[in-house]
Amino acid sequence: MKKTHKKILGFFGLGIVAAMTAVAVVLPSPGVSALSSVTDTVVIRVVGEAPDVGIDGVESGTVTINPDKTLSITYENVGRVRVQLTYKSLVDGTETVFDLADEMVDYNPGSFPLILDLSESQYGYGDYTVRVFGEGTSGTDEDIVRFTYTPFDAELREDEKNDKTDVDLEYIDTETGSDEDRIGKFIIEVYDKDGKLVSPLSPITALPPATIVNLPFEKYDLEAGLYTIKITAYNKDDEELTVRYLVKEIKEGEVIPVPDTGRIMNNLNISKADFLVSGLIVFLAVGLGGILYINKRSKKNSRRR
């Protein structure tokens, strides 16, 4: 009886131990619980609206003869605005970078002016690039504007109806500009597709205050293709200031009309008036011949009767 009682107590004790072991296995340890809580934590960060900056006051790609430039730097959703200017000289091609502004601003929309005087000693004729950077909580925005400052600009004007080609010049006032800037003359040269000077057509010298210069392409029998027009400006001291290039295309099969300069078969340069006079002469001659022929036949028939 005692042995049976002991066996029952033994099995009961083993059951309790097994149950406690199972509970211990199921329950996580403090270390594992802490690690699991750290790993599963989700961090939420609130991101602000995207930054936005811009440059107003000049269009990118502009060619200007005016050294005074007033730009407007606009910004929104940024806390810091930086403005950088890169100047590339037309004389030697060197580049210089200027840090023009570094402003701490609030995140509200705003703007501030950027005033440039390109005639100052640190600047000059050349290519300019203005960059603005806006730093916000969600990143950095950037805007870029490029323009060229030059003593003169040129544009090609083609009148297809009258087959006329002109160069339209715009340049710094020869009265108010500085001695170095005042243009004394322009030399215009035309080159063919092989880079050879079209000597019958150029060079042409234009003197201020002339602004329209005619290029007489129509006077010469030129082959089809692209022609490069090189315009060089010199100051009053005959020093080269800068060069600009234009392109003219003569298309395949394009007929260059003969100039209307003839006067009654003068040098065989037949004009519209020549054709008109010639036609009248031929008409009168044929008409007179016809009248004489009819009159002669009439007399002959009268004699037969």
The total number of structural domains in the chain stands at: 3
Write down the residue that tokens 């329950």 correspond to: 27
Residue 94 inside a domain? The answer is yes
- Separation CA 280–CA 61 (nearest Å): 58
Report the pLDDT value the prediction gives residue 36, as an integer from 0 to 100: 44
pLDDT of 46 strictly over 60:
no
What mean pLDDT do residues 239-256 have? 82
205/240 same-domain check:
yes
Arithmetic mean of pLDDT, 36-46? 48
127's enclosing H/E stretch is strand 126-136
Distances (CA, A) of 207 to 174, 233, 251: 11, 10, 31
Q: Taking a C-beta distance cutoff of 8 angstroms, is the pair 210, 169 a contact? A: yes
Together in a domain, 58 and 130: yes
Give the Cβ contact number of residue 149 at 10 Å.
Answer: 22
> What are the b/e assignments for 2-25, b being 16+ CB within 10 Å?
eeeeeeeeeeeeeeeeeeeeeeee
- As a whole number, mean pLDDT of residues 89-97 equals 90
How far apart are the C-alpha atoms of 32 and 95, rounded to whole Å?
62
For residues 171 and 210, membership in a common domain is answered with yes
Say whether pLDDT at 31 is over 60. no
Answer with the one of 250, 272, 291 that is the final residue of a domain.
Answer: 250
Q: What is the pTM of this model?
A: 0.62
- pLDDT on residue 266: 46
Residues 160 and 225 in one domain: yes
Identify whether residues 160 and 128 lie together within a single domain: no
State pLDDT tens for residues 187-246: 999 999 999 999 999 999 999 999 999 999 989 989 999 999 999 999 888 989 889 999
Question: Is 187 part of a structural domain of the chain?
Answer: yes
Phi, psi of 206 (to 5 degrees): -120, 135
Query: Which of 102, 120, 149 is at the close of a domain?
Result: 149
Are residues 62 and 127 both part of a single domain?
yes
Last residue of a domain, one of 120, 149, 178: 149
pLDDT given for residue 241 in this prediction: 87
Range of the domain at 276: 261-305
pLDDT score recorded for residue 45? 44
In whole angstroms, what is the distance from residue 182 CA to residue 176 CA?
8
What CATH number is associated with residue 69?
Answer: 2.60.40.10
For residue 207, is it within any domain?
yes
3-class SS of residue 60:
coil
44 C-beta neighbours (distance < 10 Å), count = 4
Burial of 303: CB neighbours in 10 Å, binned 0-12, 13-18, 19+: exposed
The residue with tokens 């005959």 is 238
Q: Are residues 163 and 187 in the same domain?
A: yes
Distance, in Å, from the CA atom of 72 to the CA atom of 70, rounded to the nearest integer, reads 7
| CA–CA distances in Å: residue 183 to residues 120, 141, 171, 277 | 19, 42, 8, 49
Residue 73's nearest CA partner among 138, 133, 117 is 133
* pLDDT score for 301: 55
